[in-house]
Amino acid sequence: MKLKDIHDLFIKEGIKADPRGLNIVELDLLKRKEEYDDLSDKKKENYDIESLTNPYYDSRILYGDENTEVKTVMVGIDIESQEILLAKQLINSGTKIDLIIAHHPEGYAYSTFYGVLEMQTDILNKQGVPINITEKIVSQRIKEVQRSVLPQNSERVYDAAKLLNIPLMTAHSVADNHVATFLQNEINVLSPTYLKTIIELLNKYPEYKHASKIGHKPFILNGSDYSHCGKVFVDMTGGTEGPLESFEKLEAAGVGTIISMHLSRKAVKEAEKHHLNIILAGHISSDNLGLNLLFDKLKKKALEKFEFIECSGFRRFGR
């Protein structure tokens, strides 16, 4: 497959797996189109045209010819300059690498990823929090994340890929959407009574089995094995951790248990204050599950066999 075809497939499948639902994604893209049409010609010159069809700022081709034929990809959860150098060393040693795929965003995908947090407005609304509330609390969180990104040197990894001439892309929300929707659907079908049943479910998947072997098993952070689940919310997409105010609103909306990849100390304290059970499934393991679900679709679409080279915490498990 060509690099552009891979990217287009990731966006298409990311939209299909988006927990907001297709109608909301289409409304989001329509809003962007209307905003773009209202801009002056001068302002249109610097507009991110791809964002009119790709709702995920953090999932982009960062470097490389879109027509590059790809058969072997090196995949890592975090790709930094050292991984780019590693890829070049492997290439020099005779290993074919056509493309590097990073899960966590770098370059332009990192400097603009705060825009993805807008997803959380509708994700929280689907859990029963009124939309007027979610808009206000998420907008404040977006500003916080944007300010934290502004001083960062975001082009280092892009520069390394460009200097060594290795195609590079990111697949962040397109993968996170998959793990969030997959686990939410599995739990909705299972309809667990106790938290221990959710832990047992997670441990059936190879990504979490592998994580347990290296000391990163899923665990109950707040609650116990026989705490009642109540309404379960799988919170694993939307760019990064959401607003602290969301926990009070989720409690009021009837949510009993939150399953997350990871939570900051402040977020944990806030969730505990509002009597919410918390299960931490694991960060890298959950990222792996999302990527693997996405790569399964890539392999089905490709006419030829794809080879994956694992690095930086990525482990390939097919289904």
b/e sequence 80-109, b meaning 16+ C-beta within 10 Å: bbebbebbbeebeeeeebbbbbbbbbbbbb
CA dihedral sign of residues 150, 151, 157, 158 = positive
Q: How far apart are the first and last CA of the chain?
A: 21
Half-sphere exposure of 289 (CA within 13 A, CB side): 26
Residue 149 makes CB contacts below 8 A (sequence gap 6+) with 110, 111, 113, 114
**Contact present, 285 and 308 (Cβ < 8 Å):** no
Copy the structure tokens of residue 205.
């998947």
List, by residue range, all CATH 3.40.1390.30 domains of the chain.
178-283
Question: Residue written as tokens 């070049």?
Answer: 88
Q: Which residue has the tokens 């603009």?
A: 112
The number of beta carbons lying within 10 Å of the beta carbon of residue 43 is 10
SS3 257: strand
CA distances from 64 to 73, 83, 162, 273, 283 (A): 13, 17, 8, 48, 29
> What pLDDT does residue 301 have?
86
Residue 40 has a pLDDT of 93
**CATH superfamily of domain region 178-283:** NIF3 (NGG1p interacting factor 3)-like (3.40.1390.30)
- Tell me the sheet residues that pair with 169: 61, 101
Q: What is the value of pTM for the model shown?
A: 0.95
Q: Quick check: helix, strand or coil at residue 165?
A: coil
Longest dimension (CA), the chain: 61
At residue 239, the pLDDT reads 87
Helix, strand, or coil here: 264? coil
Distance CA 71, CA 3 (A): 10
Dist CA 66 CA 3 (whole Å): 5
> Cβ(106)–Cβ(116) under 8 Å?
no
Q: Determine the pLDDT at residue 302.
A: 79
- For the chain, 319 residues long, the average pLDDT of each consecutive 10-residue run is 96 98 96 95 93 97 97 97 98 97 97 95 97 96 94 95 98 98 97 98 98 96 97 94 95 97 93 96 98 95 85 96
Q: How far is CA 102 from CA 107, 132, 153, 161, 253, in A?
A: 11, 35, 17, 12, 36
95 token code pair: 């290993």
Distance CA 62, CA 48 (A): 13
